[in-house]
Amino acid sequence: MRFLDAVLSLAALALVAAWPLHAEENVNAPVYVVTYFDAVPGAAAQSAAITRQYAETSRKEDGNAGFGVFEEIGRPGRFAILQAWRDNKARDTHEAGANATAFREKLQPLMLSGFAVRPHSGLSVAGSHAGQPQQGLYVLTHVDVFPTFKDQAVELVKAQAEAARKDAGNSRYDVLQWDGHPNHFTLVEVWRDRNAFNTGTSAAHTKDFRHMLTPFQGALYDERLYRALR
């Protein structure tokens, strides 16, 4: 079945399917937090060291289900943090704790701007990534569609994730949905290397996905490539 046919079938099923709960509506659901921040020029190495230490300590905290920290390829000083927590309580305990507080205090003088914090729930997450290997190319993409087209976009990103997971060289493709902004999504991808990513980007299902998504978009397709800090 071609990607387009699969999407149409999923859209038809969505008319009678129950809407998934967001993390804020279900305290027992896994919650995800995507955070972006920029360091001032010349502070990339120091910021990376502080962020790496923060991640190592956070992974040991109760309720943590994954904690990745990344630096954008070709843009030193632009960082992203991807957290997964057992539930809202575990996330809130972490944010109020000494580790997170110390991280923010140490990093603040080195930052170009504030933290862009985006809490999410899982829309299409395949398995646990608590032990995600640090090797490979990481891709975080922010997808923003007009609210009118939110339902269509949900089916598109879910179908794309299912298709991309079958591509050679792909080890992760998850879709997160921004809590409170259900027409905003974060795509989380991990590829073996740049060649595998390029091949996946050129796949027929990806071309169909991008072509069908474009008319719905409220902002540019914000795709960023990262390396894991380790």
Mean pLDDT value across residues 218-227: 98
- The secondary structure of residue 113, as a DSSP letter, is S
Q: Report whether 70 contacts 229 (CB < 8 A).
A: yes
pLDDT at 36 over 70: yes
Q: Report whether 99 contacts 80 (CB < 8 A).
A: no
Residue 132: its pLDDT value, please?
A: 54
Mean pLDDT value across residues 182-208: 98
Domain ranges for the chain: 3-10+21-228
At 77-127, the pLDDT tens digits run 999 999 999 999 999 999 999 999 999 999 999 999 999 999 999 999 987
Q: Is 150 helix (H, G, I), strand (E, B) or coil?
A: helix
- Which of 144, 128, 151, 108 lies closest to 16 in space, CA to CA? 151
Strand pairing of 64-72 and 222-228? antiparallel
* Level-2 CATH architecture, domain 3-10+21-228: 2-Layer Sandwich (3.30)
Query: Whose structure tokens read 């991309």?
Result: 164
What CA dihedral angle connects 91, 67, 190 and 167, to 10 degrees? -60
- The percent of residues above 70 in pLDDT, for the chain, comes to 85
What CA dihedral angle connects 43, 46, 48 and 53, to 10 degrees? -150
Give kind and range of the element (H or E) at residue 122: strand 116-124
At 123-172, the pLDDT tens digits run 999 876 655 556 799 999 999 999 999 999 999 999 999 999 999 999 99
What CA dihedral angle connects 12, 14, 16 and 22, to 10 degrees? 180
Provide φ and ψ at 167, rounded to 5°: -70, 145
What residue spans of the chain are helical by DSSP H? 3-14, 44-58, 88-96, 98-107, 150-164, 194-201, 204-213
Q: Is 191 helix (H, G, I), strand (E, B) or coil?
A: strand
Provide φ and ψ at 94, rounded to 5°: -60, -50
pLDDT at 200 over 70: yes
Q: What angle do CA 144, 195, 163 make, to 5 degrees?
A: 50
Residue 195: its pLDDT value, please?
A: 97
- The percent of residues above 90 in pLDDT, for the chain, comes to 83
- The secondary structure of residue 75, as a DSSP letter, is -
